[in-house]
Chains A and B, each alone.
Chain A
Amino acid sequence: MSDSLRAETVSYTGHGGDEIEAYLAKPLDEGRFGSVVVIHHMPGYDEWSRETTRKFAAHGYLALCPNLYSREARESSPDDAAAIARSRGGVPDERLVGDLEAAVRYLKALSDSNGRVATIGYCSGGRQSFLAACSLALDAAVDCYGAFVVGSPPEGVPLKVGPIVHMTRDLSCPLLGLFGAEDQHPSPDEVVALEEALKQAGKTYEFHSYDGASHAFFATDRPSYRPEAANDGWRRIWAFFGRYLASES
C-alpha cells in the first residue's frame, strides 16, 4: 500500500435533513477499504481533528470527520463554533446519533468501501463514539477518554448530557477504550465501572489506561500531549482496526 491520499471538505445530509460539513480523507490506492467516522473533541472541528482524519487515510482507511457544530455557527471559525456550542449545552444526543448514522451511510455508499465502519472519538467524542456503538450497527468503536459514559457533569454545568452506561447491553461491536490514569473526566473509577458493565453484558472490549497521562494525551498541539501514551494508543488502534475493519463484510 502506498501512502497517497486525497482529502477535502464535503457535505452530507444529517439529522433532520440539515447539511453537515465534513472532512473526507481517502487512500488513492485501488481496492476496498474499511471506514472510520472520526468524532472530533469538544474544542471542535479543528486543525488537529482534520490532521487525525488524514492519518487514518494514510493507514488505509476511508475517514470522515463530520463538523458536529455545523449548525451552531456555519460561517465561524472552529473555536468560535465550539464556544457557541458550549454555551448552548453541547450537542444533543439524538442529533448526534442522527448525524453519525448519516455519516456511516455516506461512507458505506463510497465505491471503495468494503462495507465495514467504525467510529473513533476523542474527549466528548469518546462518549459519542460509545453512544453511536450502542445506537447503530457498527463493526468497531474506539472511546478515547470520553467523559460522562459513567457519571454526570458537575453540578451547575450547562452541558446537556448524562450517563449512558445503561446502554452497554446494546453495544453492537467490539470496543477499544484508551484512557489517562491521571484523568478525572473520566476518572479511573468510572473507567473501572464501564469495564465492569461490559464484562457483565458479555461484550468484547479492550481497555488500556496510561500512567502519567491525563485527558487529551493524543492532542499533539496541546500541553496535555503524552507521546508514550499516544504512540502506544495508536499501535492499539491500528491493531484493533486491522482485526475488525480490514476484511470485506
Chain B
Amino acid sequence: MCTYQTETLELSGSGKGAGGWFSLSNASVYFDHPVHYLAEHSLNIDFLNLDGAAPSRVAVELDPASARELARAILTALDTAGEA
C-alpha cells in the first residue's frame, strides 16, 4: 500500500547532490514505496532546498532496521558531543 505517512520539518545545514553542495531548508521523512531500493516499503528521507525556482534534493531510502540504527547513531553522536 501507499502509506502516505509523511513527517515534514524545517532544518538548517547543507547537503551535497549531483550538482554539488547546497543549503538545506526542509526535510520529508516518510515510510512508503522506494524509487530505487527493492522493497515494498522503506524509510525515506528527502533533504531539500525549496527556496528559489530550482529545488534541490538529497535522498536516501533505508530498510526499517537500518533507519532505526541510523536514528540511534545520530542521537548517540549528539549526546556524546554534549550537543543540544
Q: Number of contact residues on A: which range applies?
A: 35 or more
Given known pairs A79-B35, A83-B59, the reply for A215 and B54 (CB within 8 Å) is: no
**At the interface with chain B, which of A28-36, A92-100, A216-224?**
A216-224
Contact A154 B4 (CB under 8 A): yes
Which residues of chain B have C-beta atoms less than 8 A from A214's C-beta?
1, 40
Q: Which of A87, A156, A157, A216 contacts B48 (CB 8 A)?
A: A87
On whether A185 and B6 interact (CB within 8 A), knowing A80-B57, A83-B59, the answer reads no
Contact A73 B55 (CB under 8 A): yes
Across the two chains, which residue of chain B brings its CB closest to A223?
B40
Give the distance in Å from the alpha carbon of A86 to the alpha carbon of B30 in the complex.
Answer: 10
- What 0/1 readout, one digit per residue, does chain A (63-80) give for beta carbons within 8 Å of chain B? 000000000111110011
A158 at the A/B interface (Cβ < 8 Å)?
Answer: yes
Contact between chains at A84 and B1 (CB < 8 Å): no
CB of A86 within 8 A of CB of B6, answer yes
Give, as a whole number of angstroms, the nearest-CB distance from A70 to chain B: 13
Task: Tell me how many residues of B have a C-beta within 8 Å of chain A.
Answer: 23
A209 CB → nearest B CB, Å: 14
- Residues from chain B with a CB closer than 8 A to the CB of A4 are none
Bound form: Cα–Cα A88–B3 in Å: 17
Q: Which residues of chain B come closer than 8 Å to A159, judged between CB atoms?
A: 4, 6
Bound: A87/B56 CA distance, A: 12
Does B8 count as interface, using CB distance less than 8 angstroms? yes
Interface residue? A147 (CB, 8 A): yes
A182-199 contact mask (Cβ, 8 Å, vs B): 1 or 0:
111100000000000000
**B-chain residues with CB within 8 Å of residue A222 when the two chains form the complex:** 33, 40
B20-58 contact mask (Cβ, 8 Å, vs A): 1 or 0: 000000101010010100111000001010100011010
Where the two chains meet, the residues of A that have a C-beta atom closer than 8 Å to any C-beta of B are 42-43, 46, 72-76, 79-80, 83-84, 86-88, 123-124, 147, 153-154, 156-159, 180, 182-185, 214-216, 222-224
Residues of B within 8 A of A (CB): 1-8, 26, 28, 30, 33, 35, 38-40, 46, 48, 50, 54-55, 57, 59
